[in-house]
Chains A and B, each alone.
Chain A
């Protein structure tokens, strides 16, 4: 489903990625872990074009995105990115719900304006999705009236409303109170169980262990280790993986 080939990214003279690659199969769930600043989020954002890269390829379901000149992307490049974004949904650490719109409006804005779906149909779809997460009674609420957990769940539904083939989660629970983390995780788990191709950057090792098919370990802009969750968590091969995990798990 997703192929990242030899990705290079640098800022002025400062290198972030010096050629990393990753393959994600359809239906696969990949957890990306690693120390802060290791480039996990940046990597994720390269996949849906929120970050530009200087060299390499990103291929999503056959759509190929090559490196883009930062300041003046060509029309073709923008087309490619647009197509990719229609296939890839993203959930942010900060939720990023549109505060001037209700929950319903948040969810149906893109389907109606971008996909041209009939408003009533979009509303029905939204209701269905909201029911699945038990928030249909909040359909006319404003984001400011919702708790953090509720907002993030709405954000997930908003992304799902575009019927993506892949979902990217960028530390989805890092801004949440511990009480509400659980409700968001259960939504993600539900999604995963339904077979959604998923990439999730997370600090929650337990959850990663639970849902991931594969774990990818980042450090200093490099993928230092990949493997099955059990392997990574109980028997990491790389020294840096070991020290990272020991810092996290021994809390």
Chain B
């Protein structure tokens, strides 16, 4: 009878595993849609406003049916890497994002600034250009040299841009919003407005060459252009990011910008942003990558987990002993304080404690680094538990031990130190090592306060490679590999303590 039940259980487990695996892999395949569609179609459709869109995208003066511009070049470069052609689709600047969401094109690329508001609606590729704002005024203008001089003046800008936000936030500025980027400069030249604030590429094309206009002040502010992608097209984003990174690395991107006189020092930032991400494998590559390519990163995460766990446990073990000794042998107000500490820390979630330390304390002026928060949070929390384990060990020691020690003339503290504690430690040890092993796993919580330990590393890798199962298995093995030796060590310690010899 029992044998049959076992059999059934085994079958259930196998079926479950099979279903789980197939669901997992099929989920991974769903995201192929956008990229696959593009490849099937043979073209990357990109949306941009060509009307007055130099140097982004605008009609070739020599051949107006053709569009040129640095974004045209970029779109073509990206499409080439995808193995397809670039097809531009005209759309008004204002409506680019809604049109993208509707599905009118695969991506939108038109000097779209990466802002938090936009991020709520769409995905952005990695930045492809660092823009700055440049103020332009009439040649004879002497009163306007920077933003502060704009109070009470009429200033033109393009709608829906960061420049618009800047002007509006200044306060006291008569902001004139234009649907396109050519008109503001025309109006400025005629005298309808006093100044124009727009991104440098625009200022460079429409402001500078105009003999009636000139730059006012240095470029200010810094922002990033990103390619807009629908939120569900994550794989497309990853692919485009990869391509942009390649273009950056190979120098192709720089060439495009130099052609349009747009390259400047600020673009170095694009390289910096690359540094951060170069450790992570790109999606395509990572699909085929042998699993050991992720080992270095996971091992690094494991190393951080070890450091956090060991240091926190050190704090917990020390503080816990202190708490117990105060509680058992201390004087009136302190014994209550110790008990209160233990109850509060045991009675509230570790997660909340970390949140309060990290996000709450700054409200009263104490700003701790993530590492300090990790050590304190884990250490102080676990100290409460260790305190109780110590107490259990101490109360397990027969009363006669303390009495004998006292009778011999020992002070209480000497008796505790030499007679009680050493004996209680061999009782407490299993509990403490148990907690240590648990702490290793609890350390994963510090990923919420910006520390990239093993679990966070797993999350990041799995999200970008979609290999949740394999990576998960390896991560679990790593955790086990950190915990099990601890168990063995603990057992050895217990055995050697059992011999009950105190070093003389």
Q: Chain A residues in contact with chain B, CB under 8 A?
A: 48-50, 72, 82, 85-86, 88-90, 92, 94, 96-102, 105, 109-110, 113-115, 142, 144, 155, 158-159, 162
Contacts and interface: CB of A to CB of B under 8 A. Distances in A.
A99 B423 contact: yes
Given A92-B400, A105-B502, A114-B414, A86 B419 contact: no
B501 A110 contact: no
B418 interface: yes
Contacts of A49: 406
Given A82-B411, A102-B501, A105-B504, A113 B418 contact: yes
A58 to B, nearest CB: 15
A85 B404 contact: no
B401 A96 contact: yes
A98 B414 CA distance: 14
Given A101-B500, A101-B501, A113-B418, 8 more contacts: A82-B411, A89-B407, A90-B403, A94-B400, A100-B422, A100-B426, A100-B502, A109-B418
Interface string B308-340: 000000000000000000000001100000000
B347 interface: no
Contact of A72 (B331, B401, B407, B409): B331
Contacts of A102: 501
A96 B400 contact: yes
A94 B274 CA distance: 74
A110 to B, nearest CB: 4
Given A85-B409, A100-B422, A100-B423, A92 B403 contact: yes
Q: Is the interface of A mostly helix, strand, loop or mixed?
A: loop
A98 B409 contact: no
Contacts of B422: 100
Contacts of B418: 109, 113
Contact of B404 (A88, A98, A113): A98
B409 A82 contact: yes
A96 B502 contact: no
Interface string B492-504: 0000000011101
A162 B408 contact: yes
B342 to A, nearest CB: 21
A72 B500 CA distance: 34
**Residue among B331, B409, B418, B426 with max Cβ neighbours from chain A (10 Å):** B409
Given A105-B502, A105-B504, A158-B408, A98 B419 contact: yes
B331 A85 contact: no
Contacts, number: 75
Interface residues of B, number: 24
A34 B244 CA distance: 98
A110 B500 CA distance: 18
Contacts of A96: 398, 400-401, 403-404
Contact of A99 (B332, B406, B411, B500): B500
A200 to B, nearest CB: 15
Contacts of B409: 82, 85-86, 110, 114-115, 162
A48 B407 contact: yes
A92 B411 CA distance: 19
A158 B410 CA distance: 13
Interface in B364-416: 398, 400-401, 403-411, 414
Contact of B408 (A72, A85, A99, A101): A85
A84 to B, nearest CB: 9
A155 B501 CA distance: 18
12 contacts: A86-B409, A89-B408, A94-B400, A96-B400, A99-B423, A100-B502, A101-B501, A101-B502, A109-B408, A110-B405, A115-B409, A162-B408
A116 B419 CA distance: 18
A110 B408 contact: yes
B410 A114 contact: yes
Nearest to A101: B502
A82 to B, nearest CB: 7
B419 A50 contact: no
A98 B426 CA distance: 14
Nearest to A107: B408
A57 B410 CA distance: 23
